[in-house]
Copies of this chain bind each other. A is one copy, B any other.
């Protein structure tokens, strides 16, 4: 048999099918690439589908001998339960969605990884959606997820509002940014982190500290800006604020301009690591030694920080922990648990490297 190819098998089947026992016929189905169903297993094992279902799910009593017969049938048919059929019945799919702005932003891969890790361990699959922070994309993704019976989802977004989420028939947890009181979230204390960053620069002797801020309307960026401003004020210093977009080039250009206009600047707190690297490049273009002439601190703790020379001092976010905690919350929610705390706030941690 093994030597026949697809078409031949089919032909052969047609010829002999009438003469074969039912069991043999089932076995043949496999050879032509058809997936075995629970019914095939039941027939082959000589039991009912209910019994097969029982051994599959380890539920209810099944006699040892029966179980064995079923297991053998499963093996010989290489039967795999059909997840879609199961989903349809159970209204659950063992999968969760994850909406992020852009996987290409170096902050997210680690987050995705840690989320996937805890979800996979619990038997869940991840559907990934890049939204580019465009509301319409997010909404579409959500509809899709609902119709696919995902069991819940994680989202990092600034555009999404609570009214988009609160009526949904599935659990949601927000990551990195909080959307509303009612929606569980995991984030870091950006404000405190920012103040700590500025304080570090102060301790290193900086007096004229600039801030390259993240994009307007982005929560994290606003909070870091506020932290910077407050700490600067509390020390009676003058704030220097330039816009940035959480990306390298804008930050570099704006930093360049800043350094030229304000040569007194001796410290920079960048809204994230990517922009900090931009500032480093600007400084290097102007021949300003780091940390000698200028000290720079970033925010995030992404790998880039250790790739550059000098290595970047930064306020590290516990990215993996964020993802892990968010995943755990979602799992609890999925399993019908009530959350004791529904807003988790982590601390950013000062990692002193070479740029300060």
Chain A residues at the B interface, C-beta cutoff of 8 Å? 33, 35, 80-85, 87-88, 93, 95, 102-104, 106, 108-110, 112-113, 116, 125-130, 143-144, 146-149, 167, 169, 248, 274, 277, 280-281, 284, 303-304, 306-309
Contacts and interface: CB of A to CB of B under 8 A. Distances in A.
Contacts of A129: 116, 125-126
Contact of A147 (B81, B146, B167, B274): B81
Given A104-B113, A169-B33, A307 B248 contact: yes
A209 to B, nearest CB: 22
A142 B293 CA distance: 55
23 contacts: A33-B169, A82-B147, A83-B148, A83-B149, A84-B93, A84-B147, A84-B149, A85-B88, A95-B127, A102-B113, A103-B109, A109-B109, A116-B129, A125-B129, A126-B127, A127-B127, A248-B306, A277-B307, A280-B309, A284-B309, A308-B308, A308-B309, A309-B309
Nearest to A145: B125
A83 B307 contact: no
Contacts of A88: 82, 84-85, 88
Give the number of times this chain occurs in the complex, counting copies: 2
A169 B303 CA distance: 40
A149 B108 CA distance: 28
A148 to B, nearest CB: 5
Nearest to A91: B84
Contacts of A169: 33, 35
A307 B308 contact: yes
Contacts of A33: 167, 169
